[in-house]
Structure 1
Amino acid sequence: MSPGPGADSAPASLTTTDKTSTFSSFRVRNYRIHFLGSSVSNIGTWMQRIAQDWLVHELTGSAAAVGITLALQFLPMLLFGLYGGVLADRFDKRKLMIGTQVVLGLSGLTLAALTFSGSVHAYHVYALALVVGLATVVDNPARQAFVSEMVGPGLLRNAVSLNSANFQSARLIGPAVAGVVITSVGVGWAFLANGLSFMAPITGLLLMRTSELSPVERAPRGKGQLREGLRYVGSRPDLLWPIVLLGFVGTFGYNFPIWLVAFTDQVFHADAGTYGLLNSLMAIGSVAGALLAARRGSRRMRFTVAAAVLFGVLLMIAAAAPTFLIFALLMPVVGVVAMTFQVTANAGIQLHSDPAMRGRVISLMMMVFVGGTPFGGPLMGWLSDTYGARIGLLAGGLVCATAAVGVALVLARIGGLRLRISLRAGRRGVALVPRDPEELTATA
């Protein structure tokens, strides 16, 4: 029998008016268990990413083969992401996650066994990367939508921020640990560590007190649920336009590996150590951005749009950085703003979604955010190779800033606001103000 309500229970009783600290969600027992389990598996996941790329390169000697592995891992999200959202809305999310965690863990253990036996081939890695991608199609919307069931709407933004900090912290630790493991004992042990790491989140999910989860109405089984989700988002400007903005930023702005490699090689004429340093600086900024977002509590959509504008402007400033030191100092700032935008957009979209539709909304959001990378990445890479790293980064920043301003103007028009630019002393230079009644009548 589960204990009665106490300090660790009833997340739905926490409201947006409660004061939010950085770690407010840790007051909820179920979330604490989830966070700890995810911490372990996230480190294992980053270890496998590094080990997987290294193994494919060892087996084939081809950078293109590494690209094929990544494509197979992320392509299912683009092709089938919306179906994962339908499943997340229809079934028990906790049970779905237990199943996906088992599949992900077995994929790591299988790759470890093949590596230890000496019988591993590139097509084995390709096949298992596809399995991981298919499992992620279901796991991603279920995991993100499950956060609101653990903590309730009052702490949703805080919990999303802490999850992002968790993942970014693992991004700092996992590759470093993988490098030591691969160098000292071999790549197979990294796969084994990842496979075993999924025991932590599975155990956490089994230990959760289901009576303390916020009740959510599940979507009944029926035809047309995919189209229903698309129509729902299309009828909600407060969901549609943030998702559109996420698509632009994800496609044209989140191409850091391409730009950092290009700047390291073309602009600063440095080595792999410098590339690793720039990645680490950005990851540190991302962790800081997630923790700062965790303290903020509720924010308006205009804050998310403003973060996207600032992100684009920072990319353009970094493109013009005259020295390595200035460029390196900008990387943590870019990381902070990028994570602030991502966290506030994610939490805002979840908070504005009907619980019965949340899985489908999240799956569409992730499909747009992640699915654009196979198009934006090669385009930004071509620009950087053809016209130089600075032009490539400048173009990405310009697209992000322009898209954010465009979305801001659309949302302002929908909300009956207009842009006011004032040069008078004592008034804000640029502000959104209500449109005049005559103007609203004329445009109706």
Structure 2
Amino acid sequence: MPPSTLADTAPADAPPGSVYSHPGFLAFLIARAVAVFATQVQAVVVAWQVYDLTRDPMALAYVGLAQFLPMLCLLLPAGDVIDRWPRKPILAISWAVGAVCSGGLWWLSGHGAAGVSGIYAVLVLYGCARAFSGPALQSLLPQVVPRAQLAQAIAANSMLMRVAGIGGPLLGGVLYALGGASLTYAACLASFLLGTLLLARVAVAPVAAAAPATGSLWTRFGAGIRFIRSRPIILGTISLDLFAVLLGGVVALLPVYAQEVLHVGPAGLGALRSAIALGEVAAGLYLSLRPFNRRVGRTMFVAVGLFGVANLVFALSPWFWLSFSALVVAGMADMVSVYIRSALVQFATPDDMRGRVHSVNMLFIGSSNELGEFRAGTSAAWLGVVPAAVAGGLCTLVVVGAWAWAFRPLRLVDRFEEAEPRP
């Protein structure tokens, strides 16, 4: 039997219309929303509490490290597990473990500085749960919505993540101000539990039974890596994201620009940070209501190129209004690129490879974000902040040109359906 494809596993195509009218998707979106907000709120409050207890900047580094290392170690085996077992229970268990972690942090919040080491231990467990929840979420989506509405669902999910990135930290700060760490962790516990309960109401289409596992874990994951390398559409898509963000991102430089270039202070810095999110949310909302499915490969390269040009304008601008506008455009271009990249990976991946492919994709995204901030900071230290930002924008344009030449099949994709694997 050939590997199952998206057409084999997705629910029967619904009549044309909004994805929001699909009851299974709405339940899935609400479940994900409460879990994502819990994740964002908890991230802000843990960092604040640990620093408040220790007054040591290195303690914040340990907060990130405690969550990143288990994710780094488990993402690859997690992908194999997600390909061999039902994804909905895996996601539910991951969120239930998140609730346990919130409960542990709630209990430790009453122990003062003596509980900091316990907080690190809980965060390690939390990082383990996130290694499974991320790929499981992405792999489950094609079983929730009809194939004809998958791209629209991806846009809605991407917009949700951006909204959570804005509203989650704000909500976390308000809850902490009202009731301290205990109230905030209790709210996160309730949110994870609510998300787990709502997920039980999400109907998912059945998939073909997984083939019996053969060989070792690394052999099976090696098969996933070979699959990615053999598919120019998938390899080109995820590597373009890695290098474009790694080389061209300017988020880490915004504090320096706000203080030394634009002279707008903390309020201006907040506005600059919100400009990117504003562009992302606006584009995501539009795409979730009016998705497109023509010339998607070429459009993706144009969007990433526009992202690089917008960052160049920001790098060279001495005026706040122009810098703000450039970041809005960069956010919009990035969201269009995310929409196309995510849809292409979903359409190009057979169901029995989804867990491993999405695990690699998550690893690439995490690396581009973390290493991109490190790259921006070190470049600014060596070259100066403006030359570093200009170099990043130029490097993004070089990457776009090189990838458009090297991955011709990706550039020529017209419709998402053309990326589907053939039997």
Whether these two folds match at TM > 0.5 is yes
Measured after TM superposition, the shift of residue 308 of structure 1 is 1.2
Amino acid at match of 2:329: V
**CA distance in structure 1 between the partners assigned to 2:382 and 2:32 by the alignment:** 41
**1: distance between equivalents of 2:293 and 2:273?**
30
Structure 1 contact 311–338 (Cα < 8 Å) conserved: yes
**Displacement of 1:119:** 5.9
TM-score (norm 2): 0.88
CA contact (8 A) 1:59 1:121 kept: no
Confirm whether residue 222 of structure 1 aligns to residue 214 of structure 2.
Answer: yes
Match of 1:323 in 2: 319
| Equivalent position amino acid for 2:303 in 1 | A
2:6 is matched with which residue? none
Percent of residue pairs bearing the same amino acid type: 25
Instruction: Tell me which residue corresponds to 2:395.
Output: 399
Task: Describe the SS at the equivalent of 2:330.
Answer: helix
In structure 2, C-alpha distance between the alignment counterparts of 1:56 and 1:26, rounded to whole Å? 40
Matches within 5 A, 1:42-441: 42-118=36-112, 121-210=115-204, 213-223=205-215, 224-254=219-249, 256=251, 258-294=252-288, 295-299=290-294, 300-412=296-408
User: Would you say the 8 A contact 1:149–1:216 is kept in 2?
Assistant: no
Query: How far off is 1:214 after superposition?
Result: 4.9
Match of residue 418 from structure 2: none
In the alignment, structure 1 segments of 5+ residues that lack a partner are: 1-9, 418-444
For the residue of structure 2 that corresponds to 1:372, the secondary structure is helix
2:307–2:334: 8 Å Cα contact kept in structure 1?
yes
The answer to whether the 8 Å contact 1:380/1:392 transfers is: yes
Distance apart, 1:221 and its partner CA: 2.1
Q: Which moved more, 1:88-97 or 1:179-188?
A: 179-188
Q: Letter of the aligned partner of 2:381 in structure 1?
A: D
In the alignment, which of 33, 38, 43 is matched to residue 39 of structure 1?
A: 33
Q: Which amino acid counterpart does residue 403 of structure 1 have in structure 2?
A: V
How far the C-alpha of 1:215 sits from its partner, in A, is 2.8
Do the aligned residues in 1 keep the contact of 2:301 with 2:411 (CA within 8 Å)? no
- How far apart in 1 are the matches of 2:34 and 2:271? 24
Map of 1:5-24 to 2, 5 A cutoff?
Answer: 12-14=11-13, 19=16, 24=18
2:248 maps to amino acid: G
Query: Which entry has the higher C-alpha Rg, 1 or 2?
Result: 1
Structure 1 SS opposite 2:407: helix
The Cα shift of 1:120 comes to 5.1
Q: Distance in 2 between matches of 1:349 and 1:260?
A: 31
Contact 1:267–1:389 (Cα < 8 Å) also in 2:
no
Question: Contact 1:251–1:370 at 8 Å: present in 2 too?
Answer: no
Taking the aligned partners of 2:329 and 2:304, their CA distance within structure 1 comes to: 13
Once the two structures are TM-superposed, the CA of residue 163 in structure 1 deviates from its matched residue by 0.8
In the other structure, the counterpart of 2:421 is: none
Given that 2:297 and 2:410 are in contact with CA atoms closer than 8 Å, whether structure 1 keeps it comes out as no
Q: Which amino acid aligns with 2:228?
A: V
In 1, Cα distance between the equivalents of 2:147 and 2:193? Answer: 28
**1:34-54 C-alpha deviation (Å, 9 max, x unpaired):** 111222222222211111111
State the TM-score, normalizing by the size of structure 1. Answer: 0.84
Matches of 2:208 and 2:261 in 1, distance apart? 52
Aligned residues: 399
Aligned mates of 2:221, 2:411 — CA distance in 1: 31
Note the C-alpha offset of 1:130. 2.1
Query: Any unmatched runs of 5+ in structure 2?
Result: 1-8, 413-423
Distance 2:176 2:397 in 1: 41
Partner-residue secondary structure (3-state), 2:317? coil
Map of 1:28 onto structure 2? 22
Deviation for aligned residue 1:144: 0.5
Give the letter for the 2:174 counterpart: V
> How far apart in 2 are the matches of 1:143 and 1:231?
23
Structure-2 residue corresponding to 1:441: none
Structure 1 residues 396, 195: closer, same or farther in 2, change over 3 A? farther
CA contact (8 A) 1:50 1:175 kept: yes
Q: For the aligned residues, what is the CA RMSD?
A: 2.2
The structural deviation recorded for 1:67 is 2.5
CA contact (8 A) 2:54 2:113 kept: no
Q: Name the amino acid aligned to 1:84.
A: A
- The aligned amino acid for 2:159 is A
Name the aligned partner's letter for residue 291 of structure 1. Answer: L
- C-alpha distance in 2 between matches for 1:218 and 1:364: 20
Q: Deviations over 1:189-225 (max 9, x none)?
A: 2222112111222111212334xx2534435322221
Whole-Å Cα distance in 2 between the matches of residues 360 and 11 of structure 1? 19
**SS of alignment partner, residue 279 of structure 1:** helix
Whether contact under 8 Å (2:42, 2:185) holds in the other structure is yes
Preserved CA contact (<8 Å) 1:233 1:361: yes
